[in-house]
Amino acid sequence: MKNRTPEEGLTALTDDAERNRLLAEMAEQSTDMISRHTPEDWRFIYVSPAVTHLLGYTVEEVVGISAYDLYHPDDVEDFRLRAPTVNYDRGLYTHTYRFRCKDGHYTWLESTSRTIRDPKTNGIREILVVSRDASHRIKADKANRRLARVLESTQDLVIFANLDFTVSHLNEAARTALELERTDYSASPLSWFVTEKGFRKLMDEGFPAAGETGSWRGELAMRSLNAVRIPVMLELLAHRSLQGGIEYYSLVAHDLTEKKVAEEQLKQYQADIDHASRLVTMGELASSLAHELNQPLAAMVNYLRGIERRFADKAMLSWSDVELPISRSIRTALRAGGIIHRMMDFTRKQEPVITSLNLPELIREMVDFCESMAERNNVRIAFEPPSDLPPVRGDKIQLEQVLLNLIVNAIEASASSEDEDVTTVDIRVESYGSSQLQVEVEDQGQGISEADMSRLFDRFFSTKDTGLGMGLAISRSLVENLGGELWAENIPAGGARFSFTLNTTD
Ligand code: ADP
C-alpha cells in the first residue's frame, strides 16, 4: 500500500470534527508558529502558542492585528509590492523577513505561506503560515558572507582544493597572482599552480601532516599560468566533516616575493659592508705590511748586490758561489709574494664558501700576518694551540676577517712604546662542549668601560680617532650566521677578552 502523507492521513479521517481537533492539537504543540491570516490585510485570525516563545506576545495580543503592523519598516514596502503578485509555487511561498517582538527588537523569521481557497468560488479564503526563527541562520549567513568578503579581499592567495587535489575555488588575490582572471580554473589540478619541487613537498609532507594534525606550514614556490615563480609561506588546512572524514583542503599562501627581494638586497648590502670593513682593516695594517714588504725587498737587494760584487771580483763564478744568495732571494721573494697574495685574497669581493677549516692553522696564519704590526706596537702574540682539534664549519675569508678584527683591536689596545715592557696578546683555542671550538683573544690593555661595554657591538661605535666602528658588529654577525656566539668581557688582571665559538664539522 502507498504511504500516505500526514495530511492525506488526516483527510482520510471520516470525522471532520476529529480532523480539526487533531490539526488544532498539532498546531498548539508545534514549536513552529502556525498562524492563519485574512487575505486582504494579513490580520491574524489564529496564532499558535509558539508566538509567545518566538516573539514574546500572548495569543490574545496578536489575534486581530495585521501582520503588516509588525513587519520591519524596511520590509513592509517589499511585502506590499510583492503580496498581490506573489506567485505561490504549488500553493506554497517561503520568505525571510524581520518581525517585531514584544520587547520592541526585530527578529528574523522564515515563513512558509499557503493560500486556502474556497472550493466553490476558488477565491482565497485565508492564508495559512508556518513561521520559524531564522535569526541563527541569518547570523550564520552574515558571518559566512563576512568571512567570504575577508577571503576575497585578503592579499594572501587562498585556494580550496578537493580530495583529488583539483582546485575548487581561488580568491581574487590567487586568481590575479596566478594569472587566471580570464581562465576557467575549476577542476584544474593543483599541481599546475605549484612548482614541481613545491608540489612534491606538499604531497610528501604537507598533505600527510595536515591529514594527521589538521594543518601544515611550509615555504615553497607557486607558479602562475605563465610560469612566473612566486615564493610563498603556505598554510595548509584539512577540513573535516562532522563524521570526521576530510572533506576538502584550503591553502593560504603569503607571497614572499618582496621579502625575498629585500633579503637579497640586505645580503648584498651586508656583503658590501663586510668588504668595506675588510678594506678598512687592511688599511689599519697597511703601514705594518709595507714595512714587512720592505724587509724582504731590502734583503733581496742585499743578496743580489752580493752576487754583483762577486762578479766584479771574479769574471768566472761557479754555481756554488751564487747558489746560496740566489735560493735565499727566491725564498724571500716568495714570502713577499705570499703577503701580497694574502692582502689581495682578503680584500677581494667574493661570495662566502662554507667549508671544513683547520682553525689553529688559520689562527697561525693570521698571527703571522699581524706579527710586524705587533712588533711595531711593542706587543708579543702568544699562541700555542693543542694539536688534536676537529675542523670547524665556516668561510675562510669571513673567519680571517673575525680573527683579524680581534687581533688588530687587541694589539691596538695593548700598544705601548719601545721603552716600556712588552705586553702580550694571548690567543687560545680549545674544545667547547661536544660540538664547538672556542677561540679567546686576550690582551693587556685598559679593558672596556662599563658604558662602552653595552655599545661595543653596535654599528659605527668606535672610541678611536680613525675607527670605523664596524669591526665588532660585523664579526658578531658573521659568527652568529655560522651558528656561533661572540662576546666580550674584562679580565681581573686588566685588559679585555673577546671569545667566540664555532661549530665543528664532526
Ligand atoms: P673600530 O676598531 O673601528 O673602533 P670595532 O667595532 O672593531 O671598531 O671596535 C669598536 C670599539 O670597541 C673600539 O673603538 C674600542 O673602543 C672597543 N674595543 C674593541 N676591542 C677592544 C679591546 N680589545 N680592548 C678595549 N676596547 C676595545
Query: Among 84-88, 158-162, 288-292, 424-428, which stretch is predicted with the lowest mean pLDDT?
Result: 84-88
Q: Which of these, 126, 118, 130, lies nearest to 93 by C-alpha position?
A: 130
Task: Give the nearest ligand 1 atom to 280 CA.
Answer: 3
Q: Which CATH number fits domain 261-350: 1.10.101, 3.30.70, 1.10.3470, 1.10.287?
A: 1.10.287
pLDDT tens for 93-114 read 788 899 999 999 999 999 988 8
C-alpha angle 117-123-128 in degrees, rounded to nearest 5? 35
Q: Say if residue 356's pLDDT is above 50.
A: yes
**Is residue 283 scored above 90 in pLDDT?**
no
Residue 24 pLDDT greater than 90, yes or no = no
DSSP for 81-107, written as a single string: HHGGG---BTTEEEEEEEEE-TTS-EE
Q: Please give the pLDDT value at position 86.
A: 53
Cα 463 to middle of ligand 1, angstroms: 7
CA dihedral 287, 290, 292, 294 (to 10 degrees): -140
Answer whether residue 87 shows pLDDT above 80: no
- 392 CA to middle of ligand 1, Å? 26
Q: Are 470 and 460 in contact (CB under 8 A)?
A: yes
Q: Which of 367, 369, 362 is nearest to 340 (CA)?
A: 369
Could you give the residue range(s) of every CATH 3.30.565.10 domain in the chain?
352-506
296: how many CB neighbours lie within 10 A of its CB?
A: 19
Cα distance between residue 33 and residue 132, in whole Å: 6
CATH 1.10.287 occupies which residues in the chain? 261-350
Answer whether 478's CB lies under 8 Å from 402's CB: yes
Residue pair 436/484 in contact (Cβ under 8 Å)? The answer is yes
Lowest mean pLDDT across 66-80, 390-404, 448-462, 487-501? 66-80
Q: Give Dmax over CA atoms of the chain in angstroms.
A: 155
Q: Is 427 in the pocket of ligand 1 (CB under 6 A)?
A: no
pLDDT value of residue 245: 92
- The pTM of the full predicted model, rounded to 2 decimals, is 0.52
- Say what the pLDDT of residue 5 is: 54
> What is d(CA 197, CA 436) in angstroms, rounded to the nearest whole number?
34
Q: Tell the residue nearest (CA) to atom 18 of ligand 1.
A: 409
Q: Is the CB of 467 under 6 A from ligand 1?
A: yes
User: What's the average model confidence in pLDDT over 122-136?
Assistant: 89
pLDDT band at 250 (very low <50, low <70, confident <90, very high): very high
Residues ≥6 apart with Cβ < 8 Å to 323: none
Confidence class for position 90, pLDDT limits 50, 70, 90: low
| 495/445 Cα distance (integer angstroms) | 4
- Segment 199-205 shows an average pLDDT of 96
- Looking at residue 14, its pLDDT comes to 53
Q: Does domain 352-506 have CATH number 3.30.565.10?
A: yes
User: Does ligand 1 come within 6 angstroms of the Cβ of 495?
Assistant: no
pLDDT tens digits along 390-444: 999 999 888 988 998 999 999 999 998 888 889 999 999 999 988 999 999 999 9
Asked whether residue 70 carries a pLDDT value surpassing 90, the answer given is: yes
Residue nearest to atom 20 of ligand 1 (CA): 409
Question: In the predicted model, is pLDDT for residue 344 greater than 90?
Answer: no
CB distance 448 to ligand 1 below 6 Å: yes
C-alpha cell at position 494? 686588566
**Residue 19 confidence (pLDDT) above 80:** no
Ligand 1 contacts CB of residue 464 (under 6 A): yes
Mutate to test the pocket of ligand 1, among 279, 472, 474, 486 (most ligand atoms within 8 A of CB): 472
- Between 291 and 367, the more confident residue is 367
Identify the pLDDT of residue 1.
43
Dihedral sign for Cα atoms in the order 46, 51, 55, 58: positive
Q: For the ranges 14-18, 92-96, 274-278, 441-445, which has the lowest average pLDDT?
A: 14-18
Q: Are 110 and 96 in contact (CB under 8 A)?
A: yes
CB of 410 shorter than 6 A to ligand 1: yes
Residue 294: band (very low, low, confident or very high) from pLDDT cuts 50, 70, 90: confident
Contacts of 282 (CB under 8 A, 6+ apart): 289, 343, 346, 347
Is 463 near ligand 1, meaning CB less than 6 Å away?
A: yes
- Give the DSSP per-residue string, 321-340: HHHHHHHHHHHHHHHHHHHH
Distance CA 251, CA 150 (A): 15
Classify domain 154-255 by CATH number. Answer: 3.30.450.20
The boundaries of every CATH 3.30.450.20 domain in the chain are 25-140, 154-255
* CA 478 / ligand 1 centre spacing (Å): 17
pLDDT for position 2: 47
* Ligand 1 midpoint to CA 92 (Å): 89
Give the per-residue pLDDT at 480: 93
User: 325: Cβ below 6 Å to ligand 1?
Assistant: no
Greater confidence (29 vs 282) lies with: 29
Percent of the chain with pLDDT over 90: 49
What is the CATH T-level fold of the domain 25-140, as seen in this structure?
A: Beta-Lactamase (3.30.450)
403 Cα to the center of ligand 1, angstroms? 13
Position 466 pLDDT exceeds 90? no
Pairing of strands 486-490, 496-503: antiparallel
Element (H, E) at 370: helix 359-376
SS3 category, 16:
helix
Ligand 1: which residue has its CA nearest to atom 12? 456
Side-chain-facing half-sphere of 101: CA atoms under 13 Å: 14
What are the backbone angles phi and psi of residue 379, rounded to the nearest 5°?
Answer: -120, 145
Whole-number mean pLDDT of the chain? 87
> How far apart are alpha carbons 464 and 33 in whole angstroms?
89
* Residue 423 CB less than 6 A away from ligand 1: no
